[in-house]
Structure 1
Amino acid sequence: MSRRTVLSVTAGVVVLGGAGAFALAYAGGQSPVLAHNTARYAAPEGDRDGSLTFTTDVTASSGVKTVKVLAWPAKSSVAKKGLTVKEMAAAETAVCKPAGGDTVRCTYKVAVTRADAETSPRGLWHVAVLATDKDGDTTLDTKAADFTVV
């Protein structure tokens, strides 16, 4: 092999190796991805409690560490100031189960008593979600899903 061919092959390996390292570094730094967010609210009826159920699919190449969920009324101080990652860290945790590959399906369900429903603001509510992967990367969606309290 000529010296020029050896230099070209070596340069190509260095370039490809660098691109591969960049791709791996980039893939490791991606935030979790939320998909298929749904919220279902059922008001209490008769002597039965109601419920709020929120589901989301979360994909993270390093695995999902936690998914925090918070429902908040659209006409509230939260709408004016916004939610932060720090505030969401104190929210309640959803239960997650494997859904194939790097994806988990997470569900948050809470009972709504008659007293809860009577004291809750009427109208549009949003569900905020904070997903954290095992590398510590986060995704915050403050309006992942909506529901209405009537």
Structure 2
Amino acid sequence: MSRRIALSVVAGVVALGGAGAFALAYAGEPQAPTLTHSEARYVAPAGDRDGSLTFTTDVSSGTKVKSVKVLAWPEDSSFARQRLTEKDMAAVESAVCEPAGKDTVRCSYGPAVTRDDAEGSPRGLWHFAVMATTTDGTRTLDTEAADFTIG
């Protein structure tokens, strides 16, 4: 084998080895969960019937999802001026999650809305914030995952 071919082979092996090491290192890093298909729906109370507020989202992660926290907040609030943080989300209510595929869970949250709740809530645009946390500690926070309006 000529010296030029030998050097080319060695350079190729080094380059492939480096790419493989990078791929293994990247694969070993925890990946933040992904939120998709987030939806909110508000139904006002009517007559003697309570209303409802529902939020759903799909959470995908290569690691098991530990918790999904949700918070509905009005557009005209302190959260609009001072962005929600992971610390803010730590104490809020949790969604219920069910398997929805290989690495995905479908999470939902749906409290009843009484007439008093509806009358005491600010009118206008509201947002749902959602924070998904996996068992390896990675998190994703979306402060405006879905919107709804209280009229």
Q: Alpha-carbon deviation of 1:12?
A: 5.8
Higher share in strand: 1
TM-score (norm 2): 0.88
Q: Alpha-carbon deviation of 1:10?
A: 6.2
Give the residue type in structure 1 aligned to 2:79: V
Distance 1:112 1:94 in 2: 16
Q: 1:65 is paired with a residue of what secondary structure?
A: strand
The question of 1:33 aligning with 2:56 is answered no
Q: Alpha-carbon deviation of 1:19?
A: 2.7
- What is the RMSD of the two structures over their aligned residues, measured on CA atoms? 2.0
Structure 1 residues 75 and 12 mapped into 2: Cα distance closer, same or farther (>3 Å)?
closer
Distance 2:127 2:20 in 1: 46
Distance 1:16 1:143 in 2: 37
Q: 1:92 is paired with a residue of what secondary structure?
A: coil
Map residues 1-150 of structure 1 onto 2, 5 A cutoff. 4=6, 8=10, 11=14, 14-25=17-28, 28-150=29-151
CA deviation map 1:20-54 (0-9, x unaligned)? 322312xx322110000100001111111111000
Give the residue type in structure 2 aligned to 1:126: H
In structure 1, stretches of 5+ residues that fail to align are: none
Distance 2:73 2:132 in 1: 17
Task: Give percent identity, aligned residues only.
Answer: 58
Structure 1 residues 80 and 12 mapped into 2: Cα distance closer, same or farther (>3 Å)?
closer
CA deviation map 1:69-125 (0-9, x unaligned)? 000010111111111101101110000011101110000010100000010001110
List, as ranges, runs of 4+ consecutive aligned residues in structure 1 with deviation greater than 4 Å.
none
In structure 2, stretches of 5+ residues that fail to align are: none
